Protein backbone atom coordinates (compact mmCIF):
# COMPACT_ATOMS: atom_id res chain seq x y z
CA UNK A 1 0.00 0.00 0.00
CA UNK A 2 1.50 3.33 -1.05
CA UNK A 3 1.75 6.37 1.14
CA UNK A 4 -0.88 8.17 -0.92
CA UNK A 5 -3.38 5.31 -0.69
CA UNK A 6 -2.82 5.03 3.08
CA UNK A 7 -3.45 8.76 3.44
CA UNK A 8 -6.57 8.55 1.28
CA UNK A 9 -7.85 5.60 3.35
CA UNK A 10 -7.20 7.55 6.55
CA UNK A 11 -9.05 10.63 5.25
CA UNK A 12 -12.01 8.56 4.03
CA UNK A 13 -12.19 6.70 7.35
CA UNK A 14 -12.12 10.03 9.22
CA UNK A 15 -14.85 11.41 7.00
CA UNK A 16 -17.00 8.32 7.60
CA UNK A 17 -16.52 8.44 11.39
CA UNK A 18 -17.32 12.17 11.49
CA UNK A 19 -20.39 11.65 9.31
CA UNK A 20 -21.71 8.79 11.45
CA UNK A 21 -21.20 10.82 14.62
CA UNK A 22 -22.82 13.91 13.12
CA UNK A 23 -25.82 12.13 11.66
CA UNK A 24 -26.47 9.27 14.08
CA UNK A 25 -25.19 10.52 17.43
CA UNK A 26 -25.78 14.29 17.45
CA UNK A 27 -29.60 14.00 17.56
CA UNK A 28 -29.19 12.38 20.99
CA UNK A 29 -27.23 15.31 22.46
CA UNK A 30 -28.67 16.95 25.53
CA UNK A 31 -31.33 19.56 24.97
CA UNK A 32 -30.44 21.21 28.27
CA UNK A 33 -28.92 24.71 28.04
CA UNK A 34 -25.15 24.93 27.62
CA UNK A 35 -22.90 26.30 30.36
CA UNK A 36 -23.26 29.98 29.50
CA UNK A 37 -27.04 29.77 29.17
CA UNK A 38 -27.26 27.86 32.44
CA UNK A 39 -25.26 30.51 34.31
CA UNK A 40 -27.44 33.25 32.80
CA UNK A 41 -30.56 31.38 33.97
CA UNK A 42 -29.15 30.72 37.43
CA UNK A 43 -27.97 34.31 37.90
CA UNK A 44 -31.21 35.79 36.56
CA UNK A 45 -30.02 37.71 33.53
CA UNK A 46 -31.20 35.35 30.80
CA UNK A 47 -34.00 37.75 29.82
CA UNK A 48 -31.43 40.42 28.86
CA UNK A 49 -29.79 38.17 26.24
CA UNK A 50 -30.05 39.16 22.59
CA UNK A 51 -29.68 37.10 19.44
CA UNK A 52 -26.29 37.05 17.76
CA UNK A 53 -25.66 38.28 14.23
CA UNK A 54 -26.13 34.85 12.63
CA UNK A 55 -29.24 33.83 14.57
CA UNK A 56 -31.32 33.89 11.38
CA UNK A 57 -28.85 31.60 9.58
CA UNK A 58 -30.44 28.45 8.06
CA UNK A 59 -28.21 26.32 10.34
CA UNK A 60 -28.63 28.31 13.57
CA UNK A 61 -29.24 26.47 16.85
CA UNK A 62 -27.84 23.13 15.66
CA UNK A 63 -30.61 22.46 13.17
CA UNK A 64 -31.74 23.06 9.60
CA UNK A 65 -34.49 25.64 9.26
CA UNK A 66 -37.57 24.21 7.55
CA UNK A 67 -37.07 20.60 8.70
CA UNK A 68 -39.87 19.77 11.12
CA UNK A 69 -38.38 16.63 12.69
CA UNK A 70 -35.91 17.84 15.35
CA UNK A 71 -33.66 14.77 15.19
CA UNK A 72 -33.49 14.84 11.41
CA UNK A 73 -32.82 18.58 11.48
CA UNK A 74 -29.92 18.14 13.92
CA UNK A 75 -28.48 15.24 11.93
CA UNK A 76 -28.66 17.19 8.69
CA UNK A 77 -26.98 20.19 10.30
CA UNK A 78 -24.21 17.89 11.52
CA UNK A 79 -23.80 16.37 8.05
CA UNK A 80 -23.63 19.81 6.44
CA UNK A 81 -21.05 20.86 9.04
CA UNK A 82 -18.89 17.80 8.34
CA UNK A 83 -19.01 18.38 4.58
CA UNK A 84 -18.16 22.07 4.99
CA UNK A 85 -15.27 21.39 7.38
CA UNK A 86 -13.75 18.67 5.21
CA UNK A 87 -14.19 20.87 2.12
CA UNK A 88 -12.44 23.85 3.72
CA UNK A 89 -9.67 21.66 5.13
CA UNK A 90 -9.20 19.85 1.82
CA UNK A 91 -9.11 23.14 -0.06
CA UNK A 92 -6.52 24.52 2.36
CA UNK A 93 -4.37 21.43 1.89
CA UNK A 94 -4.52 21.76 -1.88
CA UNK A 95 -3.64 25.45 -1.79
CA UNK A 96 -0.77 24.92 0.65
CA UNK A 97 0.54 21.96 -1.31
CA UNK A 98 0.63 24.02 -4.52
CA UNK A 99 2.36 26.92 -2.80
CA UNK A 100 5.07 24.71 -1.29
CA UNK A 101 6.18 23.34 -4.65
CA UNK A 102 6.64 19.72 -5.67
CA UNK A 103 6.15 17.05 -3.07
CA UNK A 104 9.04 15.14 -1.56
CA UNK A 105 8.04 12.00 -3.42
CA UNK A 106 8.14 13.88 -6.74
CA UNK A 107 11.53 15.34 -5.82
CA UNK A 108 12.94 11.94 -4.79
CA UNK A 109 11.54 10.36 -7.98
CA UNK A 110 13.21 13.07 -10.08
CA UNK A 111 16.49 12.60 -8.22
CA UNK A 112 16.35 8.82 -8.72
CA UNK A 113 15.61 9.30 -12.43
CA UNK A 114 18.55 11.64 -12.89
CA UNK A 115 20.89 9.26 -11.02
CA UNK A 116 19.83 6.32 -13.20
CA UNK A 117 20.27 8.43 -16.34
CA UNK A 118 23.77 9.44 -15.23
CA UNK A 119 24.80 5.87 -14.45
CA UNK A 120 23.32 4.41 -17.65
* Res 35: pLDDT: 85
Q: What is the pLDDT along the chain (120 residues), one digit of tens a residue?
A: 898 899 889 999 999 999 999 999 988 887 777 888 889 999 999 889 888 888 888 888 888 999 999 889 999 999 999 999 999 999 998 899 888 766 555 565 566 566 666 665
Residue 52, sorted as left (phi over 0), alpha (psi -120 to 50) or beta, turns out to be beta
Total residue count of the chain as it appears in this document: 120
Q: What is the DSSP letter of 48?
A: G
User: With contact defined as beta carbons under 8 Å apart, do 75 and 26 qualify?
Assistant: yes
* Res 83: pLDDT: 94
Q: How far apart are the first and last CA of the chain?
A: 30
Q: Helix, strand, or coil here: 50?
A: coil
* Res 104: pLDDT: 59
What is the pTM for the complete model shown? 0.67
State the Cα–Cα distance between residues 88 and 76, nearest whole angstrom: 18
Residue 44, sorted as left (phi over 0), alpha (psi -120 to 50) or beta, turns out to be left
* Res 20: pLDDT: 94
Query: How many other C-beta atoms are found inside a 10 Å radius of the C-beta of residue 86?
Result: 15
* Res 39: pLDDT: 92
* Separation in Å, CA 47 to CA 51, 115, 120: 11, 74, 82
* Res 1: pLDDT: 82
Amino acid sequence: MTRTSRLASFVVAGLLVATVLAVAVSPFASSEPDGLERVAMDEGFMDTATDHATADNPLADYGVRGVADARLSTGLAGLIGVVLCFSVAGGAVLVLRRRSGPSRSAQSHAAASSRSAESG
